[in-house]
Amino acid sequence: MNKKGLLAVLGTVVVLAAIVVSAGGKLPWTGGSASDDSCDIPDHAPAGTPASAPGGIKVVEQGFSQGPSGLVSLGAIVENTSADVARRIPVRFRLFDAAHHELPELTAGELSVEVPLLLPGRRIGAGTGAYRREIPVAGAETVVGPNAWLPHAAVGGLGPVGATYLRTLRFYPDNPVSVDVHYRETSTNCRALTSRDTAVVFRDRTGRIVGGDQGTADLPIVFRDVHGNDLGGERQFPPSPSCSPGERETWVVPPVGVPATAADARTEVYPYCDLPGA
């Protein structure tokens, strides 16, 4: 089973798309501030220079776990060791059996994610998940790059968007891996950036990475059981959209879920904020 089919198979999560439709196709944000002409962050992404070979992006930590259901959760922390801004960073996770034979991806891009932007000297998390019921996964490896680059001056005063983990909500008593992760996001940037999902990295009680995933932030969502009973969820948008100036409490629902060995308090959240117009 691939990641995209998980929610359809569960049949228990309903996204409240009617809210967007009733708003004329626009997200009904009640907050967020517009930037002014003094903002030196570009209002569109400058053209980047493709790298001729991998380099400048380093995997500093990685880990995985496989549960009894076959769920393989993968997570990593990558760092930009260069003096330039990294753009469009491919992060690919490779799986191996006990004989160190690589296990094939079931669908194209199944084990790959893309980090849209990473400032010099900064670290960011990446994660994804998959199911491998037939073959036990004995090892995993994270591969990054090649990516594009921008001079640091080309992004003006662009700063990182921070996120502080708040809590993990579980609405399915019989399915504890399905979670709703709340976090507080803060941006001191003078311009709204474009949200490209939010990554979650899971750690066990010792701090070891045991997996990760990524999903779309801010979406209203209702959790229902197999009989259609409402179990709760997020019925309204946050006060302002992810990656906009200011502070907000928001959430992300990792599609594959959380590993059983993860300690909630150790959860790390990483908004993927991109230059506007990118």
Q: Of 4-8, 71-75, 149-153, 212-216, where does mean pLDDT reach its minimum?
A: 4-8
233: number of CA atoms within 13 Å, CB side? 23
Segment 135-142 shows an average pLDDT of 94
Residue 80 has pLDDT above 90, yes or no: yes
Predicted confidence at residue 108, as pLDDT, reads 73
Cα(206)–Cα(137) distance, rounded to whole angstroms? Answer: 22
The residue that leads in pLDDT, 36 or 235, is: 235
Of the pLDDT bands very low, low, confident and very high (cuts 50, 70, 90), residue 138 is very high
Residue 22 has pLDDT above 50, yes or no: no
The residue that leads in pLDDT, 149 or 23, is: 149
> pLDDT digits over 153-212, tens only?
999 999 999 999 999 999 887 788 889 999 999 999 999 999 999 999 999 999 999 999
For the chain, give the mean pLDDT. Answer: 86
Structure tokens given for 158: 């662009």
Segment 2-24 shows an average pLDDT of 40
Residue 94 has pLDDT above 50, yes or no: yes
**DSSP-derived pairing of the beta strands 221-224 and 209-215:** unpaired
Residue 248: CB partners within 8 Å, gap ≥ 6? 31, 184, 185, 238, 239, 240, 242
Residue 28 has pLDDT above 90, yes or no: no
Percent of all residues in the chain with a pLDDT value above 70, rounded to a whole number:
85
Closest CA to 198 of 154, 246, 161: 161
Predicted confidence at residue 9, as pLDDT, reads 35
- Are the CB atoms for 212 and 202 separated by under 8 Å? yes
Cα(220)–Cα(214) distance, rounded to whole angstroms? Answer: 16
Predicted confidence at residue 25, as pLDDT, reads 39
Give the residue carrying structure tokens 């300690």: 263
Predicted confidence at residue 105, as pLDDT, reads 84
| Cβ neighbours around 37 below 10 Å, total | 4
Of the pLDDT bands very low, low, confident and very high (cuts 50, 70, 90), residue 223 is confident
Residue 130 has pLDDT above 80, yes or no: yes
DSSP state for residue 29 in the 8-state scheme:
-
Residue 35 has pLDDT above 70, yes or no: no
Predicted confidence at residue 17, as pLDDT, reads 36
Residue 21 has pLDDT above 50, yes or no: no
